[in-house]
Amino acid sequence: MSPQLSRRRFFASAAAVMGGGFASALSSSAPGEKNLDSKIGSMLMSHFAGTMVSPEVGTLVRDACLGGVLLFESNFASAPSPKASLFKLVRDLQNLSPHPLLIAMDQEGGAVNRLKTSYGFPATCSAQTLGQRDDLQRTREAASTIATTLSQVGINHNFAPVVDLYINPDNPVVGRNKRCFSADPERVAAHAAAFIRAHRERKIITTLKHFPGHGSSTNDSHQGLTNVTRSWSEVELIPYKRLIDADLVDSIMTAHIVNSHLDDRYPASLSFEIVTKILRRKLGFQGVVISDDLLMNAIKSQFSLEESIKLAINAGNDILLFTTISNNLIPRIHSIIKGQVQTGDISRERINESYTRIQNLKRRL
C-alpha cells in the first residue's frame, strides 16, 4: 500500500470514528450547501497542538473545513530534529488539503521569532534595530533571510511586518519588544515596503498589523480590552495608506483595541465603522482582512462566540483566527456561521466577498 493511500484511509477512518459529525454532515449536504461549507471553511484559520497531523486536524484540512493554519514553536520545537519535523508537518498538511492551504507563522524577527538559531535557522534582528539603522537595503536583506527561511520549510504566509508606530516605548505589546520600525510613519512605511518586497520575491504572503494602530496602547489585548481613545491619532494610518497606494498589501490584521472616536460600541476587530468604512472605503483596501485571535480575553470576556463571529464577519474581516481547535471548535464555528447565513444575520454576499478575496490572495502563492 502506498504511503499516500495509507494516509487517506487513516483519515477516512478518523472521519468515520467521528460518527455523525461534521465530515459526514458535509458529505450529505446538497451541492449549494457544500459550496457554502467550502466558502466558510476558507474563512477559518486555526492553530492546533502537536508536531504531527492528528486524525482531527487531518479531517478538518482534508474536508476543507480550514482555509489556513497558524504554526507556533510548539508545533516543532520538541521534535528530535525540529527543522525536519516542521518541513514534514507543512508538507503533510498541504498534501491533505484539496486547495492551497495558507500556512502562517509570526516571523517578524527579533523577539517575535519562531524559527530560532537553536533549531538550526538563521539569526534575525528586530524591526526597531532595522528602523534605527534606517538602511532600506539592510532591511530588505534581513527580510530576505526571513522569507527564504520560511520558503525552505514551506511556510507561505508571514504575519508581519508590524506597522504600528513606536509611540509608547512602554507598550507591552509592541513597544517593549522592539517590534516597531519607528515613531515616524514615513520611515515605518518605507521599511515595511522593503520587508514586503523581499517576501514577494519568494512568493510569501505578508500581513500588516495591527490595524488601526496598537503603538500608543498601554495594555495587552491578550489580557483584556485595550482602550486607545485618548492616545491614538490619525497619523497611525499613514503607513497603511502609503502601502495600500503602492499596491504592496497582501492582507491586514485587525486589532482588539477600543477607540471611541472611531467606534463607540465595538473594538476595531469587530467594527464595521473601522474595518469597512475606514480601511476599505477611506483607505481603499480591497484585499484580505484577518482578525486577530478571536479567543483573546479582549474579545471572549466581552462577547459570546456567536456574537463575536457575526460582528467580525459583518465588520468586513475575511479570515477569522482562532488559536485552538479544542472542544470541537471548528465544526461549531462552521455551524454558527452557516446558521447565521440561513437566518440572514450574515448575508451570502458577505461570505462570497470574503471567498473571492481569499482566492485572489492564494493566487499569489
With a CB cutoff of 8 Å and minimum separation 6, the contacts of 291 are: 253, 254, 269, 312, 317, 319, 320, 321
Q: Which domains occur in the chain, in start order?
A: 3-362 (3.20.20.300)
Average pLDDT, the chain: 91
292 is catalytic: yes
Distances (CA, A) of 216 to 134, 153, 290, 358: 22, 35, 21, 31
Q: Place 222 in a pLDDT band, splitting at 50, 70 and 90.
A: low
37 is catalytic: no
- 103 forms beta bridges with 69
Q: Which three cell numbers stand for residue 7?
A: 494516509
Question: What's the pLDDT at 60?
Answer: 97
H helix or E strand, kind and range, residue 290: strand 288-291
Q: Which of 10-19, 183-192, 226-235, 293-302 has the lowest mean pLDDT?
A: 10-19
pLDDT for residue 1 is more than 90: no
> Hey, what amino acid is at 273?
E
Q: Which three cell numbers stand for residue 94?
A: 498541504
| Choice among 37, 292, 293, 318 that is catalytic | 292
pLDDT digits (tens, 9 = 90+) for 50-73: 999 999 999 999 999 999 999 999
pLDDT digits (tens, 9 = 90+) for 139-178: 999 999 999 999 999 999 999 999 999 999 998 889 999 9
CB 180 within 8 A of CB 128: yes
pLDDT for residue 2 is more than 80: no
pLDDT digits (tens, 9 = 90+) for 247-259: 999 999 999 999 9
Question: What's the pLDDT at 223?
Answer: 58
pLDDT for residue 232 is more than 80: yes
